[in-house]
A and B are shown apart, each in its own frame.
Chain A
Amino acid sequence: MSIWEYANPRAFMGWTGKALPLIWGLGIGLTVLGLVWGYFFTGDDFRMGSTVKIIYLHVPSALMAINGYFLMFVASLIWLIRRHHVSALVAKAAAPIGLTMTLIALATGAIWGQPMWGTWWVWDPRLTSFLILCLFYMGYIALWESVSDQDLAADLTSILAMVGSVFAVLSRYAVQFWNQGLHQGTSVPVVTGERSVDDIYFIPLAVSMAGFFFLFLALTLVRARAEVRARRLGVLIRREQMA
């Protein structure tokens, strides 16, 4: 059996229906655990005081904002190549959630920046990149909303996602060229395997990251399922009108 079997709408509805309760449970459970742990039971940082606790929101949401865009890119690519409808609908479903994650990352960053850097906003490369990411999400969602034919909208938004991804990478380097920045380096450098964050902070952070991941997954699947049903509904209504 090929992996693409899972993308058949009927099979998709079947396995997501079974897996969703577990994913919801993991998402909400781990998020609540990570955030409660972080908010109530971790110590303050020597330099940052209690504002270090914002990291449990900021890092996971930023992570999922970027991964959400990546998911949209891959799903759009699959739609363009293999024409799986579910793939296009997953890309559509992921966009508003990615936008929410971007907004959370921007908001928590601004609230953290105010006491630490003395300003809500600086035109730092990372902040600027996130603002651009936010604009990408908004444009992508707006394009989906303004085309009523779903297949047409899927094609147009997929093309936009392809070109947009190239420009997202370009923007990232252009922005770095433009301004060096205040933002600290990455907290969890995966490549080097080192950590710039101590275990006391890292474990609740990891729990919270896992929680955000599953929450994102659950929301994307629920939205994609609603899109599949909305499509079926559209077909039925058209059939009724014809009869």
Chain B
Amino acid sequence: MMPELGKYAVEVTAAYAVSLLLLAVIILWTVMRARRVKAELDAAEARAGKEAMDA
């Protein structure tokens, strides 16, 4: 169901493609960094908690 875009179809679609790509990159980067930091922090918290119990 492509809409009728006339002679500027390439430009309009390219604009949407470029923008969505950039948005996808920043979203993925943000979410992945957030997950990694959270996982590392949880691991470190677990280690710290264990040491506290050993002591």
Contacts and interface: CB of A to CB of B under 8 A. Distances in A.
B26 A100 contact: yes
B12 A53 contact: yes
A61 B7 CA distance: 25
Interface size bucket, B side?
A: 20 to 34
A91 to B, nearest CB: 16
Question: Would you call the interface of chain A mostly helix, strand, loop, or mixed?
Answer: helix
Contacts of A215: 23
B37 interface: yes
Nearest to A230: B37
Contacts of A49: 6-8
A104 interface: yes
Interface in B9-42: 9, 11-12, 14-16, 18-19, 22-23, 25-27, 29-31, 33-34, 37-38, 40-41
Max count, chain A CB within 10 A of own CB: residue among B6, B15, B37: B15
Contacts of A97: 26, 30
A82 interface: no
A205 B37 CA distance: 36
B34 to A, nearest CB: 4
A118 to B, nearest CB: 13
A236 B12 CA distance: 50
Contacts of A67: none
Contacts of B51: 243
B18 A111 contact: yes
B33 A223 contact: yes
Contacts of A114: 11
Contacts of A104: 18-19, 22-23
Contacts of B1: 40
A103 B19 CA distance: 9
Nearest to B45: A236
Contact of B9 (A50, A100, A230, A233): A50
B11 A57 contact: no
Given A53-B16, A230-B41, A237-B44, 19 more contacts: A40-B1, A50-B4, A51-B8, A54-B15, A61-B19, A96-B26, A96-B29, A97-B30, A103-B22, A104-B22, A111-B18, A114-B11, A223-B33, A226-B37, A229-B34, A232-B41, A236-B41, A236-B44, A236-B45
10 contacts: A40-B3, A50-B4, A50-B9, A51-B12, A57-B15, A104-B18, A104-B23, A115-B8, A229-B41, A230-B37
